[in-house]
Amino acid sequence: MPLAPNFSPFVERFIRSIKYECLDKMLIFGEAHLRYIVENYISHYHHERAHQSLNNKIIDPPPDGKGEIVCHERLGGLLKFYKRAA
């Protein structure tokens, strides 16, 4: 198979996102540290960020739209997301 940037646009977009939002801003100290960072980013990417294809909503929105909005952080504040307090 030839290597081409448009071969798999979804993978290319994910790689660009993780590099821009996460990896370019961190010093990585070994494979275990890299795995920890990537696992946290993947969890954030799939469950906590707004998805453009869903009208900028998260996949599993909370059932109640009431309560104070609280900021949560991952990777020392590099990745932030907001949820309503219970």
What is the rounded CA–CA span in Å between residue 23 and residue 18? 6
Quickly state the pLDDT bin for 85 (edges 50, 70, 90).
confident
Does 71 or 18 have the greater pLDDT score? 18
Token code pair at residue 61: 């929105």
pLDDT tens digit string along 49-78?
A: 766 666 666 666 666 667 788 888 888 888
According to the model, what pLDDT value does residue 32 have?
94
pLDDT tens digit string along 35-48?
A: 999 998 888 888 77
Let me know if residue 38 belongs to a domain. Answer: yes
Nearest C-alpha neighbor of 45 from the set 55, 33, 35, 59: 59
Number of domains in the chain: 1
Let me know if residue 53 belongs to a domain. Answer: yes
Let me know if residue 79 belongs to a domain. Answer: yes
Phi, psi angles (nearest 5°) of residue 48: -115, -15
Let me know if residue 70 belongs to a domain. Answer: yes
Let me know if residue 1 belongs to a domain. Answer: no
Let me know if residue 55 belongs to a domain. Answer: yes
Let me know if residue 35 belongs to a domain. Answer: yes
Let me know if residue 3 belongs to a domain. Answer: no
Q: Give me the domain span that covers residue 29.
A: 9-84
Whether the pTM exceeds 0.85: the reply is no
According to the model, what pLDDT value does residue 36 have?
92
